[in-house]
Amino acid sequence: MNYWLVADHLCRHCGIGRVLVSAEPAAQSIAKCSSCGKTGATVKSLCFCGHTYTKTGDGSGMRCVRNIDRKATPHEIVVEVVIADVGDPPQKIKKDLNREW
């Protein structure tokens, strides 16, 4: 019987599924999307956190974060777009990439 843990990450393939992690020893653990079923060796291989803008080379990319404003958007996890800026810490632009069906 497989047991899955729900991670605080969204699948970057379908944009709506939460990433699950198998409760196996680390060497045998896999990640899987709860919606589209895609699998990967790690959470970052499936989630938005694994998506960076490689052409910029400055760490800009997307990050999965807990939604602190559930009144505006009811989703528990949302995706934050991080754009690195010269000098100051990176700016964070919060985007809800969940789709309303």
CA distance to 81, 84, 94, per residue, from 87 (Å): 18, 9, 21
Specify the pLDDT at position 51: 75
pLDDT, one tens digit per residue, over 62-76 is: 888 898 888 887 888
List the chain domain ranges.
4-47, 50-95
Give the global pTM: 0.71
* Phi (first) and psi of residue 50, to 5 degrees: -80, -5
Q: Spell out the per-residue pLDDT of the chain, length 101, in tens.
A: 578 999 999 999 998 899 999 987 766 789 999 999 999 988 888 998 867 776 666 667 888 889 888 888 788 888 888 876 655 554 554 444 444 43
Specify the pLDDT at position 99: 43
